Every structure is written in structure tokens, then in C-alpha cells.
Amino acid sequence: MSKRTTIVVGAGSGGGIVASRLSEDAQEHVILVEAGPDLGGTTDLPSQLADADSPSLVDYDWGQTAQFAETNGTAFVNNYPRGRLVGGSSAVNAAIAVRGLPQDYDEWAELGNDEWSWESVLPFFTKFERDEDFGDSPYHGDSGPIPINRDTTSEWSASVRAVATEFVARGLPEFEDSNAPDASGVGPLPRNRIGKFRASTAVTYVEQARHRENLDIVSDALVTRVLVEDLRAVGVEVDQDGVRRTIPADRVVLCAGTINTPQILMLSGIGPKASIEEVGLEVVLDLPGVGQNLQDHPGVPLIYGVKDPAETRFGFRTHVRYSSDVPGAATDDINAYPSVLHRSSLNFPVPPDVASVLMLAPQLAKPRGAGWLSLASADPSARPDVHLKFLDDELDMTRMLKAIPLFLDVIASEGVAPHIGEPLLAPSPEVAADESALREWILQTVLTSYHPTGTCRMGPDGDDLAVVDQHLKVRGIDGLYVGDASVMPVIPSGFTNLPCYMVGERLADWLRRS
């Protein structure tokens, strides 16, 4: 029996898992194509890739920018980091392992994707987990490739403990596991780590699979387009070492991420007709939803100096989750991850004499607004235009206007104030007291949580903006699938890395049985 060849584009959170799982079958030939470098296994990694407490934002990055907010004719543009290496963003992120809540996935099912209800996806979450704290609970796994653990409160910095204590004093309950289905309040943050080592898909799934003879890893190879014949994907075209070549396959799985997957589709002539023709490319299939429905978790950082110069308990260790109680908002719609961070982990400048900061940033767990992306050029190496439209929806802005004064009050409390220094990024009292001025300050300050989703969303027949069906096959193109955060119809309330792992496991299971 001849082997079936599957190309997986992108070796990140979804792609590393799809390639690893498919290559468990000796009858599959899997080619994993990654635009960035392949740095191998768990030894001799650069410290910025090994240390889960210090996200890497520059050296292994795509150099993408985005318009975060747009108002009164002004666009607030900032860097939009995404990992470019084997492991993708899972190799550079903060290793935060928060799934979200059951209602996130039940919402996907209610939108016509019944295979994605909480009951349906839970087995795929537990499949990849090795939860070192709660592995014996019915909603966790204890034998998967991804280790998950939590810091005890004694391992939190003094300023973070003070913030957590203040939230509890204001009525929030305490929890032990924020991945418990009903967790709300304040508690430790789950992380996917081996000690302090970031447990990315590169050092778990891909490392376990790379010895297999039926898995080829092609790194430093930029996919320029999917090859399509008679509305069937038959391979990809790549640029590698200055040479453009084609790689044939029986099927193609795009796992290049929420930004790059729709870019590749449009470069292949699959997407909104007008946008493709605008850059001079030929339309293969008019698929209007490609690049639309871009959601991320907007957060507004409040930054203060840390009084203890010897503080080294860096990284995200604590989770605050509560309901804004704004009419029309979901329950548990606000997240925060109070943290002491080293200056190297920040996506914004601080004075040169500041080594570490306390960051307390209210984050919209369930934003209602959405943006879009489009091709800037027919050149595959050019970055697409990204418009996040943060807080453009009035419900989103209303919730943030309510959250900022609460967080400022927590920071000024008797328990927290003695642990922190001068504000480095915060509205002045005059701005905070003036709603119009506070709105403008928020729009100038809002940042990404690095959680883009939705630009190739799944949906049922009749959904004109659905790019894939609920089995993640691209509509109208045989042999072409998507397995990353771009398929999520609505952003989950947790961090997106674990949901991407789940998507990879779910798709791999279907592909192996097809």
C-alpha cells in the first residue's frame, strides 16, 4: 500500500500536534513545513526560548504590526508578535495553560458546530494533558505529553500576593484550579512547564516524533501558496534558501496561525474576490470570510515600579476572573493576570533604570468587537494589513471604563501600595475622573494579549462567512484543511494556546480516520 502524503504548514501549537499524531501511522508520510528555524530538542536552546517566565518577543518573530485601535481618524499601531520557528508561538509565549470555560465551547456548538460542544472537546483537552496537580480529576488528564502545573502562593511575589488578597477582600472567591469548569475568582495560574522550562510543541510533540522515518521537517521554508488543481489541493509552493520549489501532496493542512493562514489562502487565490484581485492575483475561489472575524483579548496595562530591587519571581502566576456585571456582557467576562515582569518581556518601553515592573491589566475575556486582515501585497514575504478594532464596540469600551477605576482602586489600597513604586503607565487622577479623557487614554494604551483568532472561522452551511466546515475542511476545496486558532468562530475566554492544542488533536483524529 502506498503512503498518503500530508503537508502540514506551520509547526506551532496546532501544526506540531497534527504532524506528530498523523506520523504515528506508518502508512502516512507527513511533511511539516515551517518558515522559521528548527532548533531541535530540549538541550542548548537559547534562554529566551527555555525560560517560561520570560516571553520572547523579538528574535524569533514575524515582525508583524497591527492597528490596535482606530478613532477620530487616528490609528494606534503597535508590534504584533507571533512565533516564527518550530514550536511557533508555543515556543515563545508565557506558557499559560488556561482553557477557558465550558460555555465558550457550547457557544461554538450553538452556532452550528455541534462537534465542538464542551462535552465533545473535553476528551481532547484531557488527551494532551499531564496535569501534575489535578490529574486525577474527571476533567483533567494525567498521561499526555504536555505537563501542567501551578505555582503556590509562596512562589508569588509580595506585590502580586497583595493584589490577590485585595481582590478577595472585595468579595471574589478563591479557587485552586482555574481550569475547573466552574472556577471564578482568584487563584493560581496553570502553566505548561517542565520546571521553569517552556513545554512547547517543539520540545514535546515534535521532539517525540522527529525520529520517525515517515516525518520530514522542512524548516526555513516560506510557503508562498497552496497548489490547487480542479478545486483540489495538490501541494504547496515554498521559498527556501532563495529557491522557489513545489512540494506535492495528497492533502494540505494549514496550521500557520490566525494571521498567516488567511494570508496563504489569499495568496493562493482563495478568499474575498475583491481583495485578491486588488493585489493582482487570480481568484481560484471567492470565499468572503477569509481574513474576517479577527478577535483578540484587548487588555489595558497598568504598570508600576517594584520597590524590592531583588525581586526575581517573574512571570504570570496568578489568575483573577470575575464578571463585569455590565448589561449584555457574559459572565466571568474579565480576566487579569497580576504579574511581576522583567523589562525584556514587555511590548512597550520603560525607563532604562527599571529592571522589573508590576503589571495589572484588565482583559476582556469575551470581546464583542472584531477586526479583519487583508493582503498588503502579492509578495508572500510582505506582512498583511491587520486591523484589530480594539474597543470599537461600545459594550467592550463600557466594560473597560468600569474595570480601570476598580483596578486603580486596588493598586491604591493599603495592602498593595506599600509594595510598589511610581506609576510608569497609568492614567493621571484627572484623566481617570473624566470619562472622555479616560476613553482616549484607553484607546492609546490598549494592548494585545497575543491571542488572535477567527479569521478562517468554522460554520455550518448557510453561513456565508464560514471558511471551514466543522470538520475543518476548507469549503469548496477538496484536500485542504485548517488546524489553528483561525477556525475558532468566537474567541474562548481563556488563553488560546491550550485551545489550539485541542484543535490540533481534534483535527488529527479526524484526518487519521478519513
Per DSSP, the residues of 414-429 read TTTGGGEEEEEE---H
> Which of 120, 144, 131 lies closest to 178, judged by CA?
131
First to last CA, the chain: 16
Q: What is d(CA 52, CA 55) in angstroms, rounded to the nearest whole number?
A: 7
Which amino acid is present at 417? A
Q: What are phi and psi of 22, to 5 degrees?
A: -65, -40
Strand partners, 188: 318
CB distance 290 to 272 below 8 Å: yes
Q: Which three cell numbers stand for residue 469?
A: 466546515
The letter for the amino acid at 198 is: R
Identify the active-site residue in 29, 140, 387, 451: 451
Question: Beta strand pairing status for 129-131 and 146-148?
Answer: parallel
- 405 alpha-carbon distance from chain centroid: 27
Q: Is 451 assigned a catalytic role?
A: yes
Greatest Cα pair distance in the chain? 74
| E strand segments, 241-342 | 243-248, 251-254, 270-271, 285-286, 302-306, 315-316, 318-322, 334-336, 339-342
Q: What is d(CA 107, CA 180) in angstroms, rounded to the nearest whole number? A: 18
Q: For residue 129, list its beta bridge partners.
A: 146
Q: What is the rounded radius of gyration, in angstroms, for the C-alpha atoms of the chain?
A: 22
Q: Identify the sign of the CA torsion 383, 198, 98, 439.
A: negative
Find, among 509, 467, 459, the residue nearest to 107 by Cα. Answer: 459
| Nearby residues of 261 by Cβ (< 8 Å), 6 or more positions away | 9, 10, 254, 255, 455, 456, 482, 484, 486
Query: What's the angle, vertex CA 166, arms to CA 165 and CA 170, rounded to 5?
Result: 115
Active-site positions?
A: 451
